[in-house]
Structure 1
Amino acid sequence: MHITALKTYMQRVDDRPRLLVKIETSEGISGWGEAYNHGPDWSLPPLLDYLFHQIEGQDPRRVEFLVLKLNQQCRFPPGALGLAAISAIDHALWDIAGKAAGLPVYMLLGGNVRDRVRVYCGVYTAPDPQAARDQTFKLNETYGYTAFKLSPYRRDLHAGRWGELVKETGDWFGKIRDLTPSHFEFAFDAHAKIYEPYQAAQLAAAIAPYDPLFYEEPIRPEHIPAWAELKSNVTVPLATGESLYSRFEFLSLLSARGADIIQPDICVVGGVTEMRRIAAIAEAHYVTIAPHNPMGPLATAVNIHFCAAQPNFKILEFKPHEYAPWATDPYMPVDGHMELRPDRPGWGIEIDEKALIKEDYVHWERKITRKPDGATAYP
């Protein structure tokens, strides 16, 4: 068996663009993957075409060899775009390997260490306590969710005194706790919007009395010593990692004791192959892994197989989508968990290629906050 073609499809899930990749082989077996198209979106298809020529004619089941080859043929270590492209290729190769063997991918990773994969729902807003109660109750009733992630910011970070925002956040979380069942868990994603680590520690102290599931990425990821300092000054589980790429960056974070939970993205770091290395390093540091997954049904399928086989897995991010016509049978939560599909080889999800004929792209770009004085806010 050898690789004969690589095709890219610019699609969307709800209101976000998503890039799908298909690799075809001489035996008629094809595999699918997804790249995290952080932007510029349209830079990825030509990059993937370039990488295809480095694996064309190779046996797709040699996943480790081919992923190493793609990384090592780069003149410099690949960054966000390069690793996103390699991630999609890695996914597709594992899918082919599973289908060729007639096994789910998680069986090729050593087999499942758990029978199902727990998920939480990212809400990404800071709704009023009653609205938060209603929203979480509906998600619990429909999908069985008992874990959720909110934003800790009730207003613009820069529109008023910081201490007021901190107090408002603590009071708000306390009210949510009063209105929701005690077994519901709430994480908070601070979106790396805080510049000073001491402010991040103050916000952590405000939510600490109400037992957050974790406190995610309050500061930027680049300066590892700041994370070590922050972790030493908070009493809540500290999570980060969606903006880190390789095992070397995660090793620096973990060696500095900068996080309790890491959140690498399987569509960012270089795929399943690199994700497993990162997770193994975390396991050796007594750190759990909660993969970043704001993506679509294909990326979710890839994550499920990784999580099923990874011992130090904690919980997977998943927000139900409303629009992804190319995914005919997506994984969806049952009782707050994703069930495995042991009778389906590869990722266990079907892609409707007829739905991919029409390009279904939607433009998206990150919004930048402005401070009252007109300066762009950090980050």
Structure 2
Amino acid sequence: MKIDTLHTYRQRVGDRPRVLVKITTDTGLAGWSEVYNHGPDLAYPPLLDHLFAQIRGMDPLRPAAVNQFLLQSSRFPPGALGTAAVAAIDHALWDINGKALGVPVYQLLGGAVRDRVRVYAGLYSAPDLPRLRETTGALHERFGFTAFKLSPYRRDLHSTRYGLVVRALGDYFGRIREELPEEWEFAFDAHACLWEPRQAVELGAALAPHQPLFLEEPIRPEHIPSWARIRSELQVPLATGESLYTPHEFLALLTAGGTDIVQPDICVVGGLTQMVKIATLAEAHYVTVAPHNPMGPLATAANVHFAAATTNFGILEFKPDDTSWCPDPYLPVDGHLELRPERPGWGIEIDEEALATDDWVSWTRRVPVRADGSTAWM
């Protein structure tokens, strides 16, 4: 069996653009994946074609060898778009592996260490309490969610005195604890919008009395000593990792004691092959893995198989968006995603007729502008 063709499809997940990848062998066996939308997303098809030209004819049952070859084929570190493209190829090959051998992908990783995968709902906003109660109640009723992720910003971060931003968060979380079920867990994603480490510590102090699940990515990822400082001063679990994309970067963070929870994105770090290495590094530092996953059904499927076979997995991000091209996605039951031991590969089907329609949507990140005209992190 040999790797024969690669096709890309321009689609969407919710309101976000998404490039899908199909790799087919010379025997007709196909594997699927989706690419992380770093932007510019339209750069992915030619990049994938460039990488595929180097691996066509290789053995699809050796994803680790192909993954290593693609990383070594770049003279300089490939960067976020490069590792995301490698991840897409890696995942399609793992799907082919499972299908060729008639087993779920997690079986190829040593088998499942858990029977189901716990998820939290990513809400990515800070709605008023009546709206939050309605939204979380509906998600709990439909999917059994008992964990949710919110924004910590109840006031405009870039036009308000920071002390008021912190106070508003403390008041908000206090009301959440008073009015919503005490067993539910709430995480807060600061989206790397802060610049000063002390601001992250202040944000954590506002959350601490009410015991959040974690505070996520308050500052930019580049300066590792700042993460070590923040963690040493925080009284809440610190989580980060979505902006890192190599095992070496995670090793530096872990060695510095810069986080309690790592959040690698399987579609960013070079795929399942590299994700397993990162999890092993984290386990050696007694750190839990809670993958970043604001993605669609193919990325979620890859995460399910990773989580099923990873001992230090904690909880998975899940965004309940519908798609036209996946009729049988993994959906939560009782707040968990159930394994599908009877289905080989990723365990989901792709509707190729739906892919015949280009369902692309334009989406661009907006950089905040302060009152003085300078720009800020988003």
Task: Classify the TM-score, shorter chain.
Answer: over 0.9
1:137 positional shift = 1.1
Distance in 2 (CA, whole Å) between partners of 1:340 and 1:362 is 31
Q: Partner amino acid for 1:210?
A: H
Post-superposition Cα deviations, 1:14-49, rounded to whole Å, max 9, x if no partner, equal: 110011100000111110011112111111100100
Q: What residue number does 2:125 align with?
A: 125
1:367 positional shift = 1.1
1:226 positional shift = 0.4
Moved over 6 A (4+): none
How do residues 339-354 of structure 1 correspond to structure 2 at under 5 angstroms?
Answer: 339-354=338-353
Distance in 1 (CA, whole Å) between partners of 2:224 and 2:164 is 28
Q: What residue number does 2:152 align with?
A: 152
1:78 positional shift = 1.0
Q: What residue number does 1:295 align with?
A: 295
Asked if 1:205 is matched to 2:202, the reply is: no
Distance in 2 (CA, whole Å) between partners of 1:160 and 1:295 is 32
Aligned alpha-carbon RMSD (Å): 0.7
Distance in 2 (CA, whole Å) between partners of 1:184 and 1:133 is 12
Q: Secondary structure of the equivalent of 1:136?
A: helix
Q: What residue number does 2:333 align with?
A: 334
Say whether the 8 Å CA contact 1:264–1:292 is kept in structure 2: yes
How do residues 25-64 of structure 1 correspond to structure 2 at under 5 angstroms?
Answer: 25-64=25-64
Q: What residue number does 1:317 align with?
A: 317
Q: What residue number does 1:196 align with?
A: 196
Say whether the 8 Å CA contact 2:190–2:216 is kept in structure 1: yes
Distance in 2 (CA, whole Å) between partners of 1:61 and 1:76 is 27
Distance in 2 (CA, whole Å) between partners of 1:62 and 1:358 is 32
1:130 positional shift = 2.3
1:161 positional shift = 1.3
Post-superposition Cα deviations, 1:160-212, rounded to whole Å, max 9, x if no partner, equal: 21111111110110001101111100000000001111011001000100000
How do residues 165-244 of structure 1 correspond to structure 2 at under 5 angstroms?
Answer: 165-244=165-244
Q: Partner amino acid for 2:125?
A: T
Distance in 2 (CA, whole Å) between partners of 1:218 and 1:57 is 44
Say whether the 8 Å CA contact 1:3–1:60 is kept in structure 2: yes
Asked if 1:246 is matched to 2:246, the reply is: yes
Asked if 1:361 is matched to 2:360, the reply is: yes
Distance in 2 (CA, whole Å) between partners of 1:378 and 1:70 is 32
Distance in 2 (CA, whole Å) between partners of 1:274 and 1:363 is 30
Say whether the 8 Å CA contact 1:123–1:148 is kept in structure 2: yes
Q: Partner amino acid for 1:337?
A: H
Distance in 2 (CA, whole Å) between partners of 1:37 and 1:148 is 23
Distance in 2 (CA, whole Å) between partners of 1:14 and 1:199 is 33
Say whether the 8 Å CA contact 1:155–1:165 is kept in structure 2: yes
Distance in 2 (CA, whole Å) between partners of 1:37 and 1:6 is 19
1:68 positional shift = 0.4
Say whether the 8 Å CA contact 1:130–1:179 is kept in structure 2: no
Q: Partner amino acid for 1:346?
A: G
What percent identity do the matched residue pairs reach? 64
Unaligned runs of 5+ in 1: none
Q: Partner amino acid for 1:6?
A: L
Q: Partner amino acid for 2:330?
A: Y
Post-superposition Cα deviations, 1:227-267, rounded to whole Å, max 9, x if no partner, equal: 00010110100000000000000000000000000000011
Post-superposition Cα deviations, 1:322-346, rounded to whole Å, max 9, x if no partner, equal: 3x11101111000000000000000
Distance in 2 (CA, whole Å) between partners of 1:274 and 1:23 is 19
Distance in 2 (CA, whole Å) between partners of 1:58 and 1:159 is 55
Unaligned runs of 5+ in 2: none
Say whether the 8 Å CA contact 2:155–2:168 is kept in structure 1: no
Distance in 1 (CA, whole Å) between partners of 2:270 and 2:11 is 21
Distance in 1 (CA, whole Å) between partners of 2:51 and 2:286 is 36
Q: What residue number does 1:141 align with?
A: 141
Q: What residue number does 2:275 align with?
A: 275
Distance in 2 (CA, whole Å) between partners of 1:134 and 1:81 is 38
Say whether the 8 Å CA contact 1:37–1:44 is kept in structure 2: no
TM-score between the two structures when normalised by the length of structure 2: 0.99
Q: Secondary structure of the equivalent of 2:6?
A: strand
Q: Partner amino acid for 2:239?
A: A
Say whether the 8 Å CA contact 1:120–1:146 is kept in structure 2: yes
Q: What residue number does 1:69 align with?
A: 69
1:217 positional shift = 0.3
Distance in 1 (CA, whole Å) between partners of 2:14 and 2:168 is 32
How do residues 87-98 of structure 1 correspond to structure 2 at under 5 angstroms?
Answer: 87-98=87-98
